[in-house]
Amino acid sequence: MSKLISIEEAWGILVRESGPGDRARVHLADALGHTLVHEARADRDFPPFDQARMDGFALRAADCVHPPVTLDVVEEITAGRAPTRTVGPGQATRIMTGAPVPAGADAVMMIEQTSPAGEKKVELRVAIEPETHIARRGSDVPAGGVVVEAGRPLSPAEIGVLAAVGQAEPEVYRKPRLAILGSGDELVEPGAQPAPSQIRNSNSYQLLAQAAAHGLHAEYLGIAPDDPQATRRMLEQGLAADVLISTGGVSVGDKDHVGSALKDLGVEMLFTKIDIKPGKPTVFGRRGRTLVFGLPGNPVSALVCFHLFALTALRTRMGYSDPLPRRIALPLLDPHRAKGDRVTLWPAKFVLHQGQTFARIVEWHGSGHLTACVGIDGFVRQAPGQHFAQGQSVECFPLPSVG
Ligand code: AMP
Ligand code: MG
Protein backbone atom coordinates (compact mmCIF):
# COMPACT_ATOMS: atom_id res chain seq x y z
CA MET A 1 0.00 0.00 0.00
CA SER A 2 2.67 2.50 1.00
CA LYS A 3 4.95 1.26 -1.76
CA LEU A 4 7.22 3.79 -3.46
CA ILE A 5 6.33 3.55 -7.15
CA SER A 6 7.99 4.98 -10.25
CA ILE A 7 6.54 7.78 -12.36
CA GLU A 8 5.75 5.22 -15.08
CA GLU A 9 3.97 2.95 -12.60
CA ALA A 10 1.93 5.92 -11.40
CA TRP A 11 0.90 6.73 -14.98
CA GLY A 12 -0.14 3.11 -15.51
CA ILE A 13 -2.38 3.19 -12.43
CA LEU A 14 -3.82 6.58 -13.34
CA VAL A 15 -4.75 5.49 -16.84
CA ARG A 16 -6.19 2.18 -15.65
CA GLU A 17 -8.27 3.68 -12.85
CA SER A 18 -9.46 6.91 -14.44
CA GLY A 19 -11.20 5.48 -17.50
CA PRO A 20 -12.96 7.69 -20.05
CA GLY A 21 -15.78 9.83 -18.69
CA ASP A 22 -19.35 10.49 -19.77
CA ARG A 23 -20.20 11.43 -23.32
CA ALA A 24 -21.97 14.58 -24.37
CA ARG A 25 -22.77 16.56 -27.46
CA VAL A 26 -21.15 19.98 -27.57
CA HIS A 27 -21.71 22.82 -29.97
CA LEU A 28 -18.61 23.45 -32.09
CA ALA A 29 -18.22 26.88 -30.51
CA ASP A 30 -17.55 25.10 -27.17
CA ALA A 31 -15.64 22.11 -28.50
CA LEU A 32 -12.04 23.31 -28.03
CA GLY A 33 -9.94 20.80 -26.07
CA HIS A 34 -12.58 18.06 -26.05
CA THR A 35 -11.89 14.76 -27.77
CA LEU A 36 -14.22 13.03 -30.20
CA VAL A 37 -15.81 9.75 -29.17
CA HIS A 38 -15.80 8.58 -32.81
CA GLU A 39 -13.51 9.58 -35.62
CA ALA A 40 -15.03 12.15 -37.97
CA ARG A 41 -15.31 11.38 -41.67
CA ALA A 42 -15.83 13.58 -44.72
CA ASP A 43 -19.56 13.68 -45.57
CA ARG A 44 -18.77 14.54 -49.19
CA ASP A 45 -15.71 14.88 -51.39
CA PHE A 46 -13.25 17.68 -50.48
CA PRO A 47 -13.22 19.77 -52.53
CA PRO A 48 -16.83 18.89 -53.41
CA PHE A 49 -16.35 19.87 -57.06
CA ASP A 50 -13.45 20.69 -59.39
CA GLN A 51 -12.42 24.01 -57.91
CA ALA A 52 -10.46 27.00 -59.15
CA ARG A 53 -7.45 27.78 -56.93
CA MET A 54 -6.91 31.24 -58.41
CA ASP A 55 -8.82 34.20 -59.72
CA GLY A 56 -8.51 34.12 -63.50
CA PHE A 57 -9.82 32.30 -66.57
CA ALA A 58 -10.88 28.68 -66.95
CA LEU A 59 -9.81 27.46 -70.38
CA ARG A 60 -8.54 24.56 -72.48
CA ALA A 61 -4.74 24.33 -72.14
CA ALA A 62 -4.50 23.10 -75.75
CA ASP A 63 -5.78 26.55 -76.87
CA CYS A 64 -2.79 28.27 -75.37
CA VAL A 65 0.26 26.42 -76.65
CA HIS A 66 1.58 29.40 -78.63
CA PRO A 67 0.82 32.62 -76.69
CA PRO A 68 -0.30 35.30 -77.00
CA VAL A 69 -3.78 33.98 -77.71
CA THR A 70 -7.18 35.72 -77.54
CA LEU A 71 -10.21 33.76 -76.30
CA ASP A 72 -13.94 34.55 -76.11
CA VAL A 73 -15.21 34.93 -72.55
CA VAL A 74 -18.52 33.05 -72.39
CA GLU A 75 -19.44 33.46 -68.74
CA GLU A 76 -18.39 34.79 -65.32
CA ILE A 77 -18.59 32.49 -62.29
CA THR A 78 -18.39 33.98 -58.83
CA ALA A 79 -18.00 31.90 -55.63
CA GLY A 80 -21.19 30.03 -54.76
CA ARG A 81 -22.53 30.08 -58.37
CA ALA A 82 -22.59 27.08 -60.63
CA PRO A 83 -21.31 27.29 -64.25
CA THR A 84 -23.99 27.08 -66.96
CA ARG A 85 -21.77 26.99 -70.05
CA THR A 86 -19.29 24.41 -71.28
CA VAL A 87 -15.94 25.87 -72.32
CA GLY A 88 -15.35 24.98 -75.97
CA PRO A 89 -12.27 25.50 -78.18
CA GLY A 90 -11.34 29.18 -78.34
CA GLN A 91 -13.42 29.94 -75.25
CA ALA A 92 -12.76 30.85 -71.61
CA THR A 93 -14.80 31.54 -68.49
CA ARG A 94 -13.94 34.25 -65.99
CA ILE A 95 -13.67 32.45 -62.63
CA MET A 96 -13.05 33.36 -58.99
CA THR A 97 -11.03 31.43 -56.40
CA GLY A 98 -13.12 28.60 -54.95
CA ALA A 99 -15.70 28.56 -57.76
CA PRO A 100 -16.54 25.38 -59.72
CA VAL A 101 -14.52 24.88 -62.92
CA PRO A 102 -16.88 24.57 -65.89
CA ALA A 103 -17.00 21.43 -68.03
CA GLY A 104 -14.60 21.55 -70.98
CA ALA A 105 -11.95 23.61 -69.15
CA ASP A 106 -8.81 21.82 -67.93
CA ALA A 107 -6.73 24.71 -66.54
CA VAL A 108 -7.11 28.08 -64.84
CA MET A 109 -4.82 30.94 -65.85
CA MET A 110 -4.17 33.56 -63.17
CA ILE A 111 -5.66 36.95 -63.95
CA GLU A 112 -2.15 38.42 -63.61
CA GLN A 113 -1.05 36.47 -66.71
CA THR A 114 -3.88 37.82 -68.87
CA SER A 115 -4.89 41.17 -70.38
CA PRO A 116 -8.35 42.49 -71.28
CA ALA A 117 -8.83 42.36 -75.04
CA GLY A 118 -12.06 44.26 -75.59
CA GLU A 119 -15.71 43.28 -75.08
CA LYS A 120 -15.93 39.66 -73.77
CA LYS A 121 -12.43 38.82 -74.89
CA VAL A 122 -9.25 38.02 -72.99
CA GLU A 123 -5.64 37.79 -74.10
CA LEU A 124 -3.50 35.05 -72.57
CA ARG A 125 0.13 35.99 -72.37
CA VAL A 126 1.75 32.68 -71.33
CA ALA A 127 1.45 28.98 -72.13
CA ILE A 128 -0.21 26.74 -69.56
CA GLU A 129 -0.09 23.04 -68.60
CA PRO A 130 -3.34 21.10 -68.16
CA GLU A 131 -4.51 20.92 -64.50
CA THR A 132 -2.85 24.21 -63.55
CA HIS A 133 -4.66 25.87 -60.61
CA ILE A 134 -7.45 23.28 -60.47
CA ALA A 135 -8.16 21.30 -57.30
CA ARG A 136 -9.97 18.19 -58.51
CA ARG A 137 -13.05 16.97 -56.69
CA GLY A 138 -12.09 14.69 -53.77
CA SER A 139 -8.36 15.39 -54.15
CA ASP A 140 -7.98 16.62 -50.52
CA VAL A 141 -10.15 13.91 -48.93
CA PRO A 142 -12.66 11.65 -50.67
CA ALA A 143 -16.15 11.21 -49.15
CA GLY A 144 -15.93 8.81 -46.20
CA GLY A 145 -12.25 9.53 -45.51
CA VAL A 146 -11.20 10.12 -41.87
CA VAL A 147 -10.61 13.82 -41.23
CA VAL A 148 -10.27 13.97 -37.41
CA GLU A 149 -9.30 11.00 -35.27
CA ALA A 150 -10.98 10.16 -31.98
CA GLY A 151 -9.00 10.63 -28.79
CA ARG A 152 -7.09 13.76 -29.73
CA PRO A 153 -7.81 17.16 -28.20
CA LEU A 154 -9.65 19.33 -30.69
CA SER A 155 -7.53 22.27 -31.85
CA PRO A 156 -8.77 25.24 -33.88
CA ALA A 157 -7.87 23.56 -37.19
CA GLU A 158 -9.75 20.41 -36.22
CA ILE A 159 -12.80 22.40 -35.20
CA GLY A 160 -12.70 24.10 -38.59
CA VAL A 161 -12.58 20.68 -40.26
CA LEU A 162 -15.54 19.44 -38.19
CA ALA A 163 -17.51 22.49 -39.28
CA ALA A 164 -16.60 21.76 -42.90
CA VAL A 165 -17.88 18.18 -42.69
CA GLY A 166 -21.14 19.27 -41.05
CA GLN A 167 -20.51 18.08 -37.48
CA ALA A 168 -22.24 20.98 -35.77
CA GLU A 169 -22.57 19.16 -32.44
CA PRO A 170 -19.99 16.36 -32.27
CA GLU A 171 -20.13 13.69 -29.60
CA VAL A 172 -17.23 14.20 -27.19
CA TYR A 173 -16.14 13.19 -23.71
CA ARG A 174 -17.47 15.61 -21.15
CA LYS A 175 -14.79 17.62 -19.37
CA PRO A 176 -14.50 16.61 -15.72
CA ARG A 177 -15.49 19.06 -12.99
CA LEU A 178 -12.71 19.67 -10.49
CA ALA A 179 -12.84 20.66 -6.86
CA ILE A 180 -9.77 22.25 -5.24
CA LEU A 181 -9.19 22.16 -1.49
CA GLY A 182 -6.38 23.66 0.59
CA SER A 183 -5.43 22.38 4.02
CA GLY A 184 -3.42 23.65 6.94
CA ASP A 185 -3.87 25.79 10.07
CA GLU A 186 -0.99 27.99 8.95
CA LEU A 187 -2.80 29.21 5.81
CA VAL A 188 -4.60 32.47 5.18
CA GLU A 189 -6.12 33.62 1.91
CA PRO A 190 -4.09 35.86 -0.43
CA GLY A 191 -6.08 38.97 0.47
CA ALA A 192 -5.38 38.59 4.19
CA GLN A 193 -2.37 39.72 6.21
CA PRO A 194 -0.65 36.63 7.66
CA ALA A 195 0.48 36.61 11.29
CA PRO A 196 4.26 36.06 11.64
CA SER A 197 3.75 32.29 11.88
CA GLN A 198 1.28 32.09 9.00
CA ILE A 199 1.66 31.90 5.22
CA ARG A 200 -0.72 32.62 2.37
CA ASN A 201 -2.49 29.87 0.51
CA SER A 202 -0.81 29.78 -2.89
CA ASN A 203 -1.50 26.18 -3.92
CA SER A 204 -5.24 26.51 -4.45
CA TYR A 205 -4.75 29.42 -6.84
CA GLN A 206 -1.96 27.87 -8.87
CA LEU A 207 -4.09 24.74 -9.18
CA LEU A 208 -7.15 26.71 -10.30
CA ALA A 209 -4.89 28.35 -12.87
CA GLN A 210 -3.40 25.04 -14.04
CA ALA A 211 -6.90 23.67 -14.51
CA ALA A 212 -7.91 26.80 -16.46
CA ALA A 213 -4.74 26.56 -18.59
CA HIS A 214 -6.03 23.16 -19.74
CA GLY A 215 -9.55 24.45 -20.37
CA LEU A 216 -10.97 22.86 -17.22
CA HIS A 217 -13.31 24.44 -14.75
CA ALA A 218 -12.50 24.01 -11.07
CA GLU A 219 -14.45 25.00 -7.99
CA TYR A 220 -12.50 26.27 -5.00
CA LEU A 221 -13.71 24.87 -1.70
CA GLY A 222 -11.54 26.82 0.74
CA ILE A 223 -9.01 25.77 3.37
CA ALA A 224 -9.57 22.77 5.63
CA PRO A 225 -8.14 23.33 9.13
CA ASP A 226 -5.84 20.66 10.60
CA ASP A 227 -8.67 18.92 12.37
CA PRO A 228 -9.88 15.41 11.45
CA GLN A 229 -13.62 16.16 11.47
CA ALA A 230 -13.38 19.42 9.54
CA THR A 231 -10.98 17.84 7.03
CA ARG A 232 -13.35 14.96 6.50
CA ARG A 233 -16.35 17.28 6.08
CA MET A 234 -14.64 19.39 3.44
CA LEU A 235 -13.25 16.38 1.58
CA GLU A 236 -16.75 14.88 1.51
CA GLN A 237 -18.01 18.06 -0.13
CA GLY A 238 -15.24 17.78 -2.73
CA LEU A 239 -16.16 14.18 -3.52
CA ALA A 240 -19.28 15.50 -5.26
CA ALA A 241 -16.99 16.66 -8.11
CA ASP A 242 -15.55 14.35 -10.77
CA VAL A 243 -12.01 14.95 -9.55
CA LEU A 244 -11.05 16.29 -6.12
CA ILE A 245 -7.59 17.76 -5.64
CA SER A 246 -6.44 18.71 -2.17
CA THR A 247 -3.00 19.87 -1.14
CA GLY A 248 -1.17 19.41 2.13
CA GLY A 249 -1.82 17.11 5.04
CA VAL A 250 -0.67 13.94 3.30
CA SER A 251 2.73 13.45 4.94
CA VAL A 252 3.28 11.50 8.14
CA GLY A 253 2.98 14.38 10.63
CA ASP A 254 0.52 14.38 13.56
CA LYS A 255 -1.49 17.07 11.78
CA ASP A 256 -1.68 15.28 8.44
CA HIS A 257 -5.30 14.13 8.41
CA VAL A 258 -6.07 13.98 4.69
CA GLY A 259 -4.97 10.37 4.10
CA SER A 260 -6.93 8.93 7.05
CA ALA A 261 -9.98 11.11 6.31
CA LEU A 262 -10.06 9.85 2.72
CA LYS A 263 -9.94 6.25 3.94
CA ASP A 264 -12.76 6.97 6.42
CA LEU A 265 -14.80 8.36 3.51
CA GLY A 266 -14.44 5.10 1.63
CA VAL A 267 -11.83 6.25 -0.87
CA GLU A 268 -9.79 3.34 -2.16
CA MET A 269 -6.11 4.32 -2.03
CA LEU A 270 -4.33 3.39 -5.26
CA PHE A 271 -0.93 4.85 -4.52
CA THR A 272 0.54 6.99 -1.77
CA LYS A 273 4.20 7.54 -2.67
CA ILE A 274 6.04 8.21 -5.90
CA ASP A 275 9.80 8.11 -6.42
CA ILE A 276 10.03 11.74 -7.38
CA LYS A 277 11.45 14.95 -6.03
CA PRO A 278 9.57 17.16 -5.47
CA GLY A 279 6.28 15.38 -4.82
CA LYS A 280 6.99 12.06 -3.08
CA PRO A 281 3.91 11.94 -0.79
CA THR A 282 1.39 12.09 -3.64
CA VAL A 283 -1.83 10.25 -2.89
CA PHE A 284 -4.25 8.99 -5.52
CA GLY A 285 -7.52 7.24 -4.80
CA ARG A 286 -10.96 6.60 -6.17
CA ARG A 287 -14.43 6.41 -4.69
CA GLY A 288 -16.84 5.09 -7.30
CA ARG A 289 -16.29 7.29 -10.33
CA THR A 290 -14.74 10.16 -8.34
CA LEU A 291 -10.98 10.49 -8.49
CA VAL A 292 -9.08 12.01 -5.58
CA PHE A 293 -5.61 13.48 -5.40
CA GLY A 294 -3.93 14.42 -2.15
CA LEU A 295 -0.99 16.42 -3.43
CA PRO A 296 1.85 17.42 -1.14
CA GLY A 297 1.54 20.87 0.44
CA ASN A 298 4.85 22.22 -0.74
CA PRO A 299 4.04 24.56 -3.61
CA VAL A 300 6.54 23.24 -6.16
CA SER A 301 5.44 19.69 -5.37
CA ALA A 302 1.83 20.68 -6.02
CA LEU A 303 2.84 22.37 -9.27
CA VAL A 304 4.80 19.34 -10.52
CA CYS A 305 2.31 16.72 -9.33
CA PHE A 306 -0.70 18.36 -10.93
CA HIS A 307 1.16 18.50 -14.22
CA LEU A 308 2.64 15.02 -14.06
CA PHE A 309 -0.15 13.05 -12.42
CA ALA A 310 -3.50 14.82 -12.02
CA LEU A 311 -3.41 15.89 -15.65
CA THR A 312 -2.91 12.31 -16.82
CA ALA A 313 -6.04 11.27 -14.94
CA LEU A 314 -8.00 14.24 -16.28
CA ARG A 315 -6.92 13.54 -19.85
CA THR A 316 -7.82 9.88 -19.51
CA ARG A 317 -11.28 10.98 -18.37
CA MET A 318 -11.46 13.24 -21.40
CA GLY A 319 -10.82 10.29 -23.69
CA TYR A 320 -7.28 11.20 -24.76
CA SER A 321 -5.66 8.26 -26.52
CA ASP A 322 -2.31 9.61 -25.25
CA PRO A 323 -3.05 11.07 -21.80
CA LEU A 324 0.54 11.27 -20.53
CA PRO A 325 2.21 14.66 -20.11
CA ARG A 326 3.93 15.81 -23.27
CA ARG A 327 7.67 15.13 -23.36
CA ILE A 328 10.36 16.64 -25.54
CA ALA A 329 14.11 16.20 -25.78
CA LEU A 330 16.34 19.28 -25.57
CA PRO A 331 20.09 19.73 -25.20
CA LEU A 332 21.11 21.02 -21.77
CA LEU A 333 22.83 24.41 -21.67
CA ASP A 334 25.03 23.66 -18.65
CA PRO A 335 26.32 20.40 -17.15
CA HIS A 336 24.26 19.14 -14.22
CA ARG A 337 24.92 16.53 -11.56
CA ALA A 338 22.06 14.68 -9.83
CA LYS A 339 21.49 15.23 -6.14
CA GLY A 340 19.88 12.86 -3.64
CA ASP A 341 18.44 9.41 -4.16
CA ARG A 342 15.18 10.17 -5.97
CA VAL A 343 14.26 10.95 -9.55
CA THR A 344 14.30 14.74 -9.69
CA LEU A 345 12.25 17.12 -11.80
CA TRP A 346 14.28 20.29 -12.12
CA PRO A 347 12.49 23.53 -12.98
CA ALA A 348 13.91 24.77 -16.27
CA LYS A 349 13.64 27.50 -18.87
CA PHE A 350 13.86 26.70 -22.55
CA VAL A 351 16.24 29.31 -23.94
CA LEU A 352 17.42 30.23 -27.39
CA HIS A 353 21.23 30.16 -27.58
CA GLN A 354 23.13 30.62 -30.84
CA GLY A 355 20.10 29.66 -32.90
CA GLN A 356 19.22 26.51 -30.95
CA THR A 357 16.79 25.86 -28.09
CA PHE A 358 18.36 24.53 -24.89
CA ALA A 359 16.98 23.58 -21.48
CA ARG A 360 18.52 25.61 -18.68
CA ILE A 361 17.90 24.34 -15.16
CA VAL A 362 17.17 27.29 -12.86
CA GLU A 363 18.59 27.82 -9.40
CA TRP A 364 16.19 26.06 -7.08
CA HIS A 365 16.30 25.45 -3.32
CA GLY A 366 13.69 22.73 -3.07
CA SER A 367 10.00 22.01 -2.94
CA GLY A 368 9.02 25.21 -1.09
CA HIS A 369 10.85 27.49 -3.53
CA LEU A 370 7.95 28.48 -5.78
CA THR A 371 9.48 31.82 -6.78
CA ALA A 372 12.17 29.85 -8.67
CA CYS A 373 9.38 28.61 -10.93
CA VAL A 374 8.35 32.05 -12.12
CA GLY A 375 9.01 32.14 -15.85
CA ILE A 376 9.92 28.47 -16.22
CA ASP A 377 8.88 26.57 -19.32
CA GLY A 378 8.89 23.07 -17.87
CA PHE A 379 10.84 20.46 -15.95
CA VAL A 380 13.88 18.28 -16.70
CA ARG A 381 13.90 14.71 -15.42
CA GLN A 382 17.14 13.39 -13.93
CA ALA A 383 17.70 9.95 -12.41
CA PRO A 384 19.64 9.58 -9.15
CA GLY A 385 23.40 9.43 -9.73
CA GLN A 386 23.02 10.59 -13.31
CA HIS A 387 25.41 13.22 -14.63
CA PHE A 388 24.31 15.42 -17.50
CA ALA A 389 27.10 16.77 -19.68
CA GLN A 390 26.82 20.14 -21.36
CA GLY A 391 24.77 19.80 -24.55
CA GLN A 392 23.45 16.35 -23.59
CA SER A 393 19.92 15.65 -24.76
CA VAL A 394 17.59 15.50 -21.74
CA GLU A 395 13.93 14.65 -21.24
CA CYS A 396 11.77 17.72 -20.62
CA PHE A 397 8.14 18.12 -19.60
CA PRO A 398 6.93 21.39 -21.10
CA LEU A 399 4.27 23.32 -19.19
CA PRO A 400 1.35 24.63 -21.23
CA SER A 401 1.91 28.03 -22.79
CA VAL A 402 -0.56 30.63 -21.67
CA GLY A 403 -1.95 33.41 -23.83
P1 AMP B 1 1.99 19.70 4.53
O2 AMP B 1 2.05 18.68 3.42
O3 AMP B 1 0.61 20.02 4.93
O4 AMP B 1 2.85 19.29 5.66
O5 AMP B 1 2.62 21.01 3.94
C6 AMP B 1 3.98 21.03 3.51
C7 AMP B 1 4.45 22.45 3.37
O8 AMP B 1 3.66 23.10 2.37
C9 AMP B 1 4.27 23.28 4.64
O10 AMP B 1 5.38 24.13 4.73
C11 AMP B 1 3.01 24.05 4.36
O12 AMP B 1 2.97 25.25 5.06
C13 AMP B 1 3.06 24.28 2.88
N14 AMP B 1 1.72 24.41 2.33
C15 AMP B 1 0.70 23.55 2.53
N16 AMP B 1 -0.39 23.96 1.88
C17 AMP B 1 -0.08 25.10 1.25
C18 AMP B 1 -0.78 26.00 0.42
N19 AMP B 1 -2.07 25.79 0.11
N20 AMP B 1 -0.15 27.07 -0.07
C21 AMP B 1 1.17 27.28 0.24
N22 AMP B 1 1.89 26.46 0.99
C23 AMP B 1 1.29 25.39 1.54
MG1 MG C 1 -0.29 20.86 6.48
Each residue's pLDDT tens digit, 312-333: 999 999 999 999 999 999 999 9
* Mean pLDDT, all residues of the chain: 97
Q: How many CB atoms lie within 10 A of CB 244?
A: 28
Q: Are 312 and 375 in contact (CB under 8 A)?
A: no
C-beta of 298 in contact with ligand 1 (< 6 A): yes
Q: Are 174 and 319 in contact (CB under 8 A)?
A: no
C-beta of 199 in contact with ligand 1 (< 6 A): yes
Which ligand number lies closest to the CA of residue 220? 1
Each residue's pLDDT tens digit, 40-71: 999 999 999 999 999 999 999 999 999 999 99
Indicate whether 1 pLDDT > 70: no
C-beta of 206 in contact with ligand 1 (< 6 A): no
Which of these, 298, 267, 301, lies nearest to 284 by C-alpha position? 267
Q: How far apart are CA 17 and CA 13, in angstroms?
A: 6
Which of these, 383, 397, 316, 324, lies nearest to 9 by C-alpha position? 324
Section 17-25 average pLDDT: 96
Section 5-27 average pLDDT: 97
C-beta of 201 in contact with ligand 1 (< 6 A): yes
Each residue's pLDDT tens digit, 74-119: 999 998 999 999 999 999 999 999 999 999 999 999 999 999 999 9
Q: Are 286 and 17 in contact (CB under 8 A)?
A: yes
C-beta of 186 in contact with ligand 1 (< 6 A): yes
- What distance in angstroms lies between residue 222's CA and the mean position of ligand 1's atoms? 14
Which of these, 245, 242, 278, 275, lies nearest to 262 by C-alpha position? 245
pTM of the model: 0.94
Q: Are 36 and 79 in contact (CB under 8 A)?
A: no
